[in-house]
Structure 1
Amino acid sequence: METPGPRTGQSPDLDPTLVRSEFAPRTTYLNSASTGLLPARAVTAMHEGALSVAQGRPADMFADVEAARAAFARLVGVPVGRVAAGASVAVYSGLVAAALPEGAEVLTAEGDFSSTVNPFHVRADLKVRAVPLERLAESVRPGTDLVAVSVAQSADGRIADLDALRAAARAHGARVYLDASQATGWMDLGDHVATADFTASVAFKWLTCPRGVAFFVAPEEAEGFGGLRPLLAGWVAGERPWDSCYGPVEELAHSARRFDESPALLAYAGARHSLELIEDLGVAAIGAHDLALADRFRAGLAGLGHEPVPAPGSPVVAVPGLGARQPELSAAGIEVSDRAGNLRVAFHFYNTAADVDRLLAALSG
């Protein structure tokens, strides 16, 4: 006789006891594409860090930055020397934009997230071209210098065909910049980040970190960092930061740390432990769990006569025409988003089958 899975609806490979020990939301929270829930271990670490400052004995939270950087590197499969630590995807989009020559062509997806694409539009001397996401790879052409795209679209969860994009970029000599903000934490990025020229990701969504934490993956020093210039370099970007506090920084870090922003230390104090939890649970188990819940919701929507935006393999489900119901659902204790008229629902590892069924019941009323 087949052994049934956990009654909670969680994947058999996901440790439900560990999940329950870290999260106790007071709502049916289905909005991780906006903000992930903070685990208890991160809240405790931030509280202790804040107290250490209040009591005049500041903890060494720079150690937390390095631990978080190393954890992110492991999660996306790159050497830690390729990872910069900052606070915003837009900052790193701006660094990539600043590295392009005058007249360069940048290919983007229509309706992509502003932090991913707007810094390229700000430079009036660049040629920015937008095409439907489904046509991105086929739209790379001779003369395309860079393709900038989100791995998963914020508005509706659609996933870029990264294999096709990589092949097209190589064929035409274009570089690739990925925004993985809606993918890190649930998606096995395989060698996509390792082979992309540049990748940025915030960590306050699927990685369940506090706001103020973001990571950037750059080429290595041997590759000239892909032509990036450390335009924001302060003392933390020095090879020996504590010897770089005054005057020009004499020696920039020989790693991607030269692209660090001065870190929001309390946020990183929590991020270290959030990323530890993601590693403890495992991205493969998290992804399988998230996608199972999303598929359950899609099946339930079909029974209600609703058709979501096609986004196979995504834990984000966007339902056209239902976005206006977001306030009503929030008042009932179900947290979702209204994005471009769509009801956007995002399932993560702290969600259960019961959460899915509660939302479906509310939508059927």
Structure 2
Amino acid sequence: METFESLVRAEFAPKNTFLNTASSGLLPARTVTALQEAALIRAEGRPLDPLFQDVEAARAAFARLAGVPVARVAAGASVSSHSGLFAASLPPGAEVLTAEDDFTSVVNPFHTRGDLKVRIVPLERLADSVRPGTALVAVSAAQSADGRIADLSALREAARDHGARTYVDFSQAAGWLPVDAGSYDYTVSTTFKWLLGPHGAAFLAVPEDFGDLKPVLAGWVAGEVPWDSCYGPVAELAHSARRFDVSPALFTYTGTRRSLELLEELGVDAVRAHDLALADRFRKGLAALGHEPLPAPGSAIVSVPGLGGRQPELSAAGIEVSNRAGNLRASFHLYNTAADVDRLLDALSS
């Protein structure tokens, strides 16, 4: 029987010390193989049916990961396009509550709409800031800049008490933090970070009644019978969340299917335990070096003030991290080891 370690080692063979999953994750070997086969299907002129089947298999795998029926999951391309859908569906003057310095793709569409009231508060005050008249609260489950985890249970209760809808972006959490999409009105996640997929896919989970969303991006794939919806206006939108689909990047979804299957085999709980153990090892090592990371308990992302400028030299030494707002951001995922952590600490000690 394969173990967590043997499964991971069969899928990943990085040529460097890669501690940058918060930017983009490594592709598993099975995903690379599937992408190569998808390219051959196109190159050789074979029917594309298997690639469209991959879209549906990936949708179903994400639904299982998110804990919702597959009929509640839409297949899209990016977080910003999903945020744009939410923004377009709100009435003029609606209040949207967001967290200070949250990721741009989550919040910017509400600002560009122009006729919404967007209120920005510190992350730790988000739940307490929901008030009568708040239409929507939008937040990342884990902050991109520093890994802080939102108090989603408090936010959910506050939103329920005041009749506000909730929008949670799990892009920096799905894959290592459990996702309970049914607890919120709208959840999204891109797939190229912790879900280990190629760029160009992002899932959206909606309520059974679609939560007052308007399918403003609906094209032929959003029809109840897509191949009967190719010309003229769509006569009948899909009866499921597929009405919010956009034309899929087929290669991307082919790869995403295999990456999600690997995560299912490993189990999110096991991945989380692995990732957090490495993050904690890094935090302890930083303390020994006299560095204090930004507070983000229980997160697989660790940001260290004042060290972001060392990113280029670390990259030249074969250690990949990020520089975010002057902070060195390291992120730890299933393919990382204690030796990776120690190599980064050794480099920072010099």
Scaled by the length of structure 1, what TM-score is found?
0.94
After superposition, the C-alpha distances for 1:242-273 in whole angstroms (9 at most, x for unaligned) are: 11111111111000000001000011111110
Please point out which of 341, 348, 352 is paired with 2:333: 348
Q: Which residue of 2 aligns with 1:229?
A: 214
In the alignment, structure 1 residue 363 sits paired with structure 2 residue 348 = yes
Amino acid in the other structure paired with 1:210:
P
Point out where structure 2 has 5 or more consecutive residues left out of the alignment: none
3-state SS of paired residue (2:286): helix
Give runs of ≥4 in structure 1 deviating > 3 Å.
Answer: none
**How far apart are 1:101 and its partner, in Å?**
1.0
Please point out which of 88, 91, 100 is paired with 2:90: 100
**How far apart are 1:167 and its partner, in Å?**
0.8
Q: Which residue of 2 aligns with 1:133?
A: 123
**How far apart are 1:59 and its partner, in Å?**
3.8
Q: Which residue of 1 aligns with 2:174?
A: 184
Amino acid in the other structure paired with 1:211:
H
Amino acid in the other structure paired with 2:204:
F
In the alignment, structure 1 residue 206 sits paired with structure 2 residue 194 = yes
Q: Which residue of 2 aligns with 1:3?
A: none
3-state SS of paired residue (1:62): helix
Given that residues 14 and 285 in structure 1 are in contact (C-alpha distance below 8 angstroms), is that contact kept between their aligned partners in structure 2? Answer: no
Provide the rounded CA distance (Å) in 1 between the counterparts of 2:48 and 2:3. Answer: 33
**How far apart are 1:302 and its partner, in Å?**
0.2
Scaled by the length of structure 2, what TM-score is found?
0.98
Provide the rounded CA distance (Å) in 1 between the counterparts of 2:52 and 2:221. Answer: 10
3-state SS of paired residue (1:183): coil
Q: How many residues align?
A: 348
Given that residues 182 and 207 in structure 2 are in contact (C-alpha distance below 8 angstroms), is that contact kept between their aligned partners in structure 1? Answer: no
In the alignment, structure 1 residue 277 sits paired with structure 2 residue 267 = no
Please point out which of 7, 23, 26 is paired with 1:18: 7
Aligned-residue CA RMSD (Å): 0.9
**How far apart are 1:141 and its partner, in Å?**
1.0
Q: Which residue of 2 aligns with 1:111?
A: 101
Please point out which of 57, 68, 85 is paired with 1:78: 68
**How far apart are 1:14 and its partner, in Å?**
5.9
Provide the rounded CA distance (Å) in 2 between the counterparts of 1:14 and 1:182. Answer: 25
Q: Which residue of 2 aligns with 1:195?
A: 183
After superposition, the C-alpha distances for 1:106-154 in whole angstroms (9 at most, x for unaligned) are: 1000000000000000111110010000110111111111100000000
Amino acid in the other structure paired with 1:270:
G
Please point out which of 282, 288, 294 is paired with 2:279: 294
Given that residues 14 and 289 in structure 1 are in contact (C-alpha distance below 8 angstroms), is that contact kept between their aligned partners in structure 2? Answer: no
3-state SS of paired residue (2:147): coil
Given that residues 108 and 131 in structure 1 are in contact (C-alpha distance below 8 angstroms), is that contact kept between their aligned partners in structure 2? Answer: yes
List aligned pairs for 1:45-60, cutoff 5 A.
Answer: 45-60=34-49
Amino acid in the other structure paired with 2:38:
G
Q: Which residue of 2 aligns with 1:325?
A: 310
Provide the rounded CA distance (Å) in 2 between the counterparts of 1:214 and 1:14. Answer: 29
3-state SS of paired residue (2:172): coil
Given that residues 234 and 262 in structure 1 are in contact (C-alpha distance below 8 angstroms), is that contact kept between their aligned partners in structure 2? Answer: yes
Provide the rounded CA distance (Å) in 1 between the counterparts of 2:341 and 2:265. Answer: 25
List aligned pairs for 1:302-341, cutoff 5 A.
Answer: 302-341=287-326
Please point out which of 28, 52, 58 is paired with 1:39: 28
After superposition, the C-alpha distances for 1:16-53 in whole angstroms (9 at most, x for unaligned) are: 11100100000100000000000000000010110111
3-state SS of paired residue (1:103): coil
Q: Percent identity?
A: 73
Mark the CA change 1:35 to 1:14 in structure 2 (over 3 Å): closer, same or farther.
farther
Amino acid in the other structure paired with 1:91:
S
Q: Which residue of 1 aligns with 2:148?
A: 158
Q: Which residue of 2 aligns with 1:146?
A: 136
Higher alpha-carbon deviation: 288-297 or 97-106: 97-106
Provide the rounded CA distance (Å) in 2 between the counterparts of 1:125 and 1:87. Answer: 25
Mark the CA change 1:316 to 1:30 in structure 2 (over 3 Å): closer, same or farther.
same
Provide the rounded CA distance (Å) in 1 between the counterparts of 2:230 and 2:243. Answer: 14
Given that residues 99 and 126 in structure 2 are in contact (C-alpha distance below 8 angstroms), is that contact kept between their aligned partners in structure 1? Answer: yes
Provide the rounded CA distance (Å) in 2 between the counterparts of 1:130 and 1:14. Answer: 45
